[in-house]
Amino acid sequence: MKFLSKAIATTLLAASCLFAQQDEVTQQAKPAQKDFGVGIRGAFNYNMMYGLDNDWNVYSDSDDDDTPSGIGFEVGLAVRLQLLPFMQFTPEVLFNYAGLSQDDGTMERTFKQMGVEFPLLLRVTPIDKLYLAVGPNIELNVSDEVKLESGTMENEAGTFHHDFPEAFERKSVQFGLTFGAGYNIIDRLSADFRMNMGMTEVYKGESLLISLKGGKLMTFKFGLGFWFM
């Protein structure tokens, strides 16, 4: 009986030692989670203006059928700070370009914008490899150009071509709120989708043809990120 008890105790001790060694090996095999990281990010963007009055365009009878919209891109640097095992603070500095257009059928207006964005995001990982992000976004205007090209127009007097003078200027600072979700494809490489909802007016100025008062910018972003460290 004593022999059996000793055999059982020895077996249990050996098993516990084996499991402890296996757990140690497993922990060593996992990459250590770093508290700080630096990476790059690039994205393809679709931009559209929202929040305009119903009668913003004298040539349109509907609300949002021809509001300015278009594509663009952004690229820049990101920093990762580990706050909790499931939460990170990931501020970014991004250069962006957007080219929007608005066509009334007889004339086309283009909006070219360049700026520097500062998304200040909190990133939460609810499950392995999937993360959610939210935070404010600040954008500084670098340059902008609004150009009106009015094609051939006709009235009782005949056919003519006329360029209407306009005085729109993009505001120097924009504020917005960013929501997003991403997936870690492989180690250090991730893909994400974001929506940035502008909270402030984009343009100041006036025109006899349209009013951009109240117009804010909404941007949908499809991006890739890579962490160097």
Residues 159 and 176 in one domain: yes
Bridge partners (DSSP) of residue 190 are 184, 225
pLDDT of residue 199: 96
Residues 11 and 88 in one domain: no
For residue 101, with 0-12 CB atoms within 10 Å meaning exposed, 13-18 middle and 19 or more buried, which class applies? middle
pLDDT of residue 22: 47
Residues 148 and 177 in one domain: yes
Residues 128 and 211 in one domain: yes
Domain total for the chain?
2
Residues 207 and 57 sit within 8 Å (Cβ to Cβ): no
Residues 1 and 96 in one domain: no
Task: State the Cα–Cα distance between residues 96 and 135, nearest whole angstrom.
Answer: 18
Residues 125 and 69 in one domain: yes
Per-residue pLDDT of the chain (229 residues; tens, 9 = 90+): 554 455 445 544 544 454 445 444 444 444 455 789 999 999 999 999 999 988 888 776 554 468 899 999 999 999 999 999 999 999 999 999 999 999 877 778 899 999 999 999 999 999 989 999 999 999 999 999 998 877 666 666 666 665 667 889 999 999 999 999 999 999 899 999 999 999 999 999 878 788 899 999 999 999 999 999 8
On the CB side of 73, CA atoms within 13 Å amount to: 5
Residues 22 and 39 in one domain: no
pTM listed for this prediction: 0.79
pLDDT of residue 25: 42
Range of the domain at 22: 1-30
The CATH number covering residue 91 comes to: 2.40.160.20
Residues 16 and 78 in one domain: no
